[in-house]
Structure 1
């Protein structure tokens, strides 16, 4: 029953914050965007506290000291569930993170959809609209010069089993060729266990959901270095998952 109660609380909380955004939209997108920038870390923490309290989720966030991060950087992470978005927002509380996400998420999801639209995340279509995808990622790359931290999930979709899929270079290559930045690699594990609503009810209780910064790499200089970097990032994440699972 705890997981069901947690889902009800999450829906109520998301609906409340969604309404708060819509009210601020009356006064303009910039007002709503400032509200989301100010509240996103707090909202992420509240959602996970509820998961820990009512669904008994075991959340482990491992990060180096904030002072160790470069002034500007790109995050490369594997992807297991929608919870990865608030997880990474919470993981970098002193930075304004923006995601490369599929366009379908920009509709019908309370709080998540307006956040992706109004904060100007890079929303890409899987229907093959390459010019629109390029413009969206290019805008995100240019915004990184103004304090925005782009986050890329190179797998392109959530892993339903937790196994790290193939990394696709497209989004990361466009970002890093337009604005070459250091790369922070993040390994995530455990999210695939509750990636669906029915799985939350059945499997979130006592599950361990964790993430860790595995490396901070210098900015790549060309396409070949970007491809090589992504290969190394993927292997790092795989090795980190092996280590976590061996500990269990």
Structure 2
């Protein structure tokens, strides 16, 4: 039934999702060009509010749970599992007070309305996966910006999307590189559930009636711990929420 409704509702979703991207592209440009970073960030936050709640056109619910009072005076590394591209707008919107940045493929910095301009000027890291030296350099630069501005970064240590919802082994390299540049950053795991179901059948049809959940978990203070230990702890806590505990 979810697939059947998807054939009907997917075009509606794509229309409004695409329209939102097109409308906010010039808005972002104007905000950045004439009013600077803060105005641009507000435009990006509002953009991602609308992108997040485009899920209503698929009859999907969006639930973001954060029971922790996270600091705004300290950089944060949010560590999340990754299920689909629809993970990202919700993270940007609900983590907006922490100025969440992302590590993205450099190929995405061109050709996508709203997305590409934000990647170019929004302060995140755009990496070439084929050039390890460039990637590390960009992540270190991002860490320095985090330190200077008390920004946060969202990192997906799996390295790719889990298309079946099964968490892949977390890699610690990105977290280790960030912590070298911003050693005082708090590490906060975030468990993402069910967004993989939206694209279970690919780009079309999208599925409907899913309960999409983002759960902020207990923060991890990195002091006295290696990047490997921190990454394993974050993965373990996320797996517990998803019912995919390590054996």
Same fold (TM over 0.5): yes
**Mind listing any 5+ residue stretches in structure 1 that lack a counterpart?**
244-248
Shift, 1:136, TM fit: 0.6
The CA distance in 2 between the partners of 1:50 and 1:131, in whole Å, is 38
- Using the size of structure 1 for normalisation, the TM-score is 0.86
Q: 1:171 to 1:35 in 2, by over 3 A?
A: same
Shift of 1:211: 0.7
Match of 1:55 among 55, 58, 63: 58
Count residues with an aligned counterpart. 234
Matched-pair contact (CA < 8 Å) for 1:6–1:50: yes
User: Does 2:238 correspond to 1:231?
Assistant: no
TM-score, normalising length: structure 2: 0.86
Alpha-carbon offset, residue 125 of structure 1 = 1.4
Deviations 1:162-221 (A, max 9, x none): 11111111111010122111111100011112248x646434310121110111011244
Tell me, yes or no, if the aligned pair for 2:82 and 2:161 is still in contact at 8 Å: yes
Q: How does 1:24-39 map to 2 (within 5 A)?
A: 24=31, 27=33, 31=35, 33-39=37-43
2:174 is aligned with 1:167? no
Whole-Å separation in 1 of the counterparts to 2:205 and 2:179: 40
User: Is 1:2 aligned to residue 5 of structure 2?
Assistant: no
Deviation at 1:131, TM superposition (A): 1.8
- Cα RMSD (Å): 2.1
**CA 1:188–1:90: 2 relative to 1, 3 Å:** same
Q: CA deviation at 1:11?
A: 0.6
Report the secondary structure of 1:215's partner residue.
coil
Gaps of 5+ in 2: 1-7
* Alpha-carbon separation, structure 1, partners of 2:43 and 2:162: 29
Verify: 1:11 aligned to 2:12, yes or no. Answer: no
Give the whole-Å Cα distance in 2 for the aligned partners of 1:71 and 1:64.
18
How big is the shift at 1:81? 1.2
- Map Cα deviations across residues 130-158 of structure 1 (whole Å, 9 max, x no partner): 22112110111111121210111111111
